[in-house]
A and B are shown apart, each in its own frame.
Chain A
Amino acid sequence: MSGAIQVRGLSRTFHTTVRRPGFAGALRSLVAPERVAKHAVSDITFDVDSGELLALLGPNGAGKSTTIKMLTGILTPSSGEARVAGVVPYQDRERNARNIGAVFGQRTQLWWDLPVRESFTILRDIYEVPKAEHSARLAEFDDLLALSSFWDTRVRHLSLGQRVRCDLAAALLHDPPVVFLDEPTIGMDVVVKEQVREFLRYQVEQRGRTVLLTTHDMTEVERLAERVVLVNHGRLVLDGTLDEIRRKFGSTWQVRATLTDPHTEVVALPGIAVVRREGARVVFGPDGSAAPTVHQALKSVIERYEVTDIALDEADLEDVMRAAYIQAEAV
């Protein structure tokens, strides 16, 4: 196996008690509980390379968080195998803990009653980070996340945006090569979201960290990830680049061109159909499953015809993912 994160046939089954409706049902569940198996994650396989940011996507309840919990060592898989930075996380939690950082949505790991800086100091002690290294890293995070204006404030008095920025810093204070982020920007305003995205981009591009991100924010995916893994009902539905996903689920682009000569004969190009024509104005669209990406289509149209004006209509990633989720649901 290769890569910073290696996942092979990972599965996790939970056994839960069925709660029957009504008073009699509740009584029956109490006396004779019926246990059912719920397959939260089934036979998932993927890799994440060092210095890569991978978005793990899927609708609510798809198995994203369970996957992250197995990769962080919190949960032991029912079957399959995972390695994070060369360590089997659920077999060697302590060693794995030194290699990873994690943020779970709005759940903070900071000490509620203490000023943020004290929380950072306690984490420094727990991870046994040298003082000079800790100070240098804190200064770097302050530059990127503007923490110093509120790091002497007690955590209970921070806004959500401030707290999540502090949690991101807390997760990276011990310089882990691998970072797990489970919906880190949920509930944050656009300005803070952008700041967090910049921070993450810096951590991946400049620091070479490997990031596994789950989010429902497609703008975030578009800005940060080149590759996504889509899961649904615990199963891996797709593993590919954003372009591949767009091609597969979001072929709804249109290229609208105004030809220099309105009498030019317009014919279909490979994978590109003529949707309609009104004089000099021609609308091209994808043709079949071999349709090119919108950018390739644009290039083909410009190369083939002389145009005075050209515009693109592209389904945004939100539409693409909606189509992907619906299709995955139908499978």
Chain B
Amino acid sequence: MATVPAWRAARVTPLGELHAPPRMTAVLLRLTVQVVLVASLWHGLYSRTGSTAGLDEGQAVTYAVLAVLASRIRQLDQYTGRDSVIQHMHYGTIVYWYLRPLPPQRYYALRAFGEQLYGFAWALAGYTVCLAAGVVDPPESAAVAGVFAVSLLLGQLVLYYVMLILDQLCFFTIRNNSAMLILIFAQNLLSGVYAPLWFFPDWFIRLSGFLPFQATLSVPLSIYIGRIGLADAAAQLAVQAGWVVVLALFTRWVWRQAARRVISQGG
């Protein structure tokens, strides 16, 4: 008899969203409002100047709008679906992750993959609409588009591991709300969601270079708008890949520690 492969567990998040139309409407509204406001803001900032920090208006608006769309790829909502680590720790249901033949780390990865793919569909739909409406510029060439795609993929892997560390924290502290708030702020600031990083002072840019956040969004978006040329892209991709390896090894170690911390509730 034909068995069904375990990777189909990746459907969990998209299925949950499709069964909750109000949540999808909220995402649509939020994205629309954010894109309109961000595009208006950057058009306004450039209304009296042709170029700032080496960026023209088209590049700046494209960067900002793409940042809004890309930030949707991995939603940071911890409370929908009761299938996040923090909620499993809260309700004592984390035990079930350890009672299945699919190891918790693989289930987590599959679920995150589904979540990121679902978010990517939203981002892609938004991008298509924005491109058709002339809100964002297309990439300069097919080569730029290709390198951007690779960089975006690596950026999403870095983001996955950063989010994983936050979730793993729950095994040791039960809750991660404060850490999550700090992460959301740091990620948005240091990855260039609020504003492209080159608007910040040099020391800030240098500091953010030691953290993984700019590898998530700033690098791929900078490649897209041409701020990072194709000649320099290889080094940036290598840094992103480096972060992926470092974070993968670290989170693997933390999973092993976490397995010893599955808290026994009740006598």
* Residue ranges of A at the interface with B (Cβ–Cβ < 8 Å): 14, 40, 60-66, 69, 72-76, 93-95, 97-98, 100, 102, 104-105, 107-109, 111-115, 118, 122, 124-133, 154, 182
Give CA–CA (A94, B103) in the complex, Å. 7
Contact B93 A69 (CB under 8 A): no
Contact B4 A74 (CB under 8 A): no
Give CA–CA (A98, B1) in the complex, Å. 18
Interface magnitude class on chain B = 35 or more
Contact A114 B264 (CB under 8 A): no
Contact A126 B9 (CB under 8 A): yes
Q: Write the chain B residue with the least CB distance to A108.
A: B93
Given A94-B101, A111-B12, A111-B81, are A128 and B3 neighbors across the interface (CB < 8 Å)?
A: yes
Give CA–CA (A187, B15) in the complex, Å. 30
Q: Of A60, A100, A113, A133, which is within 8 A of B82 by CB?
A: A113
Q: Write the chain B residue with the least CB distance to A115.
A: B19
Contact B16 A127 (CB under 8 A): no
Contact A63 B82 (CB under 8 A): no
Give CA–CA (A282, B101) in the complex, Å. 63
A-B contact pairs, 21 of them (CB 8 A): A40-B267, A62-B267, A72-B99, A73-B98, A74-B98, A95-B101, A98-B101, A100-B99, A111-B12, A111-B82, A113-B15, A114-B19, A118-B15, A125-B6, A126-B101, A126-B107, A127-B101, A128-B4, A130-B3, A131-B1, A131-B4
Q: Write the chain A residue with the least CB distance to B17.
A: A113
Q: Write the chain B residue with the least CB distance to A123.
A: B100
B5: interface (CB < 8 Å):
yes
Contact A125 B265 (CB under 8 A): no
Please name all residues of chain B whose beta carbon is closer than 8 Å to the beta carbon of A95 when the two chains form the complex.
Answer: 101
Q: Of A97, A122, A154, which is within 8 A of B12 by CB?
A: A122
Contact B99 A97 (CB under 8 A): yes
Distance in angstroms from B245 CB to nearest chain A CB is 26
Given A63-B267, A122-B11, are A133 and B103 neighbors across the interface (CB < 8 Å)?
A: no
Contact A73 B99 (CB under 8 A): yes
* Residue ranges of B at the interface with A (Cβ–Cβ < 8 Å): 1-9, 11-12, 15-16, 19-20, 80-83, 91-93, 95-96, 98-103, 107, 260, 262, 264-267
Contact A102 B264 (CB under 8 A): no
Distance in angstroms from B124 CB to nearest chain A CB is 23
Q: Write the chain B residue with the least CB distance to A234.
A: B267
Find the residue from B20, B80, B82 having the highest chain A CB count within 10 A: B82
Please name all residues of chain A whose beta carbon is closer than 8 Å to the beta carbon of B93 when the two chains form the complex.
Answer: 104, 107-109
Give CA–CA (A65, B19) in the complex, Å. 35
Please name all residues of chain A whose beta carbon is closer than 8 Å to the beta carbon of B20 when the two chains form the complex.
Answer: 113
Q: Of A75, A115, A127, which is within 8 A of B100 by CB?
A: A127
Find the residue from B81, B96, B103 having the highest chain A CB count within 10 A: B96
Q: Of B6, B80, B83, B264, which is within 8 A of A126 by CB?
A: B6
Give CA–CA (A266, B99) in the complex, Å. 61
Distance in angstroms from B62 CB to nearest chain A CB is 35
Q: Of A66, A112, A122, which is within 8 A of B264 by CB?
A: A66
Contact A65 B83 (CB under 8 A): no
Contact A64 B267 (CB under 8 A): yes
Q: Of A65, A98, A100, which is within 8 A of B265 by CB?
A: A65
Distance in angstroms from B105 CB to nearest chain A CB is 12
Contact A93 B81 (CB under 8 A): no
Q: Write the chain B residue with the least CB distance to A133.
A: B1
Give CA–CA (A74, B4) in the complex, Å. 26
Give CA–CA (A132, B3) in the complex, Å. 9
Give CA–CA (A115, B19) in the complex, Å. 8
Distance in angstroms from A104 CB to nearest chain B CB is 6
Other CB < 8 Å A-B pairs besides A93-B103, A97-B100, A182-B266, 9 of them? A66-B267, A73-B98, A74-B262, A93-B98, A113-B82, A125-B8, A129-B4, A130-B3, A132-B1
Contact B98 A114 (CB under 8 A): no
Please name all residues of chain B whose beta carbon is closer than 8 Å to the beta carbon of A127 when the two chains form the complex.
Answer: 100-101
Contact A112 B81 (CB under 8 A): yes
Please name all residues of chain B whose beta carbon is closer than 8 Å to the beta carbon of A118 when the two chains form the complex.
Answer: 15, 19
Q: Write the chain B residue with the least CB distance to A61.
A: B267
- Closest 7 pairs between A and B when the two form their complex, measured CB to CB: A130-B1, A61-B267, A113-B16, A112-B82, A109-B96, A65-B266, A125-B8
